[in-house]
Amino acid sequence: MINDRQQQILHILEKKGEVHLQQIKDVFPDVSMMTLRRDLINLENEGLLIRTHGGAVNAKKLNAVSGEEDAYSRRASENVEAKLKMAEKAAALVEEGRSIYFDAGTSIMCLARLLSDGNFSILTCGTNIALELVKKPDISVVTLGGLVNRNTLSVSGPGAMTFLDAVNIDIAFMSASGFSVDNGFTVSNIYECELKRKVVSRAQKVILLVDSGKLNKVLPFTFAHLKDIDAWVVERQLPDAIEADCKKYGVEVL
């Protein structure tokens, strides 16, 4: 059951879209940080927000025209705990002074939010991810151009593909909609598939963030197999058969 204080926190999120824990503390100076963290955990368990490093974001924004929750917000509210676990692991792998690529998707968005400010040079196809990263003044952000996918808020198309030919990528942090041993990492959009394939082929190191809820889920288009990647960040231990295949192809499971 949501108490009055939690209702006020939700009201702040409705107005601002996101809030930091210290801002909540300023509103409730007599309430301990531990209690406020528990409030955020309870609200996240209710599916009303997504906790981030040091705060929370609104996971229930409604489409202003139709009154229905938009596709990206629906996806953002799924498997939140798993995405945050993966993002915490992946954040430690983002290296300063390197050319980094951030794919689109809600898992990568969690990574963008958790990433501390620093001397990072990040190229991304995610419009929302770029907006999140530019809040951190020391991070250099470059975006691809193209057609925007409403489900992922990513851009793709000929312009994006051409731009990738002109840049170097040291480490690519990628996402996928599904994985199976036979079909590899899959997505539903052919243009995004082609873009992901291009990034995988150009990156010196490829790191996939794919939670266990996407195992044995097959979408129409494959952009990579285990042999094409270097590391797989997941929130829990993979099934033995998949673990064995990862070892076979030298994929580090984190």
Q: What is the pLDDT of residues 189-207, one digit of tens each?
A: 888 899 999 999 999 999 9
Q: Are residues 47 and 127 in the same domain?
A: no
pTM for this model (two decimals): 0.71
Q: Are residues 47 and 144 in the same domain?
A: no
In a domain, 70, yes or no: no
Instruction: Give the pair of three-digit tokens for residue 249.
Output: 């192809």
> Is residue 173 within 8 Å of residue 94, measured between CB atoms?
yes
Q: Is the pLDDT of residue 141 over 90?
A: yes
Q: Are residues 54 and 81 in the same domain?
A: no
> Is residue 132 within 8 Å of residue 111, measured between CB atoms?
no
> Is residue 102 within 8 Å of residue 173, measured between CB atoms?
yes
Q: Are residues 83 and 208 in the same domain?
A: yes
Residue 153: left (phi > 0), alpha (psi -120 to 50), or beta?
A: left
Q: What is the pLDDT of residues 12-51, one digit of tens each?
A: 888 877 788 889 999 999 999 999 999 998 888 777 887 7
Q: Which residue intervals of 153-217 are DSSP H helices?
A: 158-164, 190-202
Q: Are residues 186 and 220 in the same domain?
A: yes
Count the neighbouring beta carbons within 10 Å of the beta carbon of residue 115: 21
Q: For the chain, how many structural domains are there in total?
A: 2
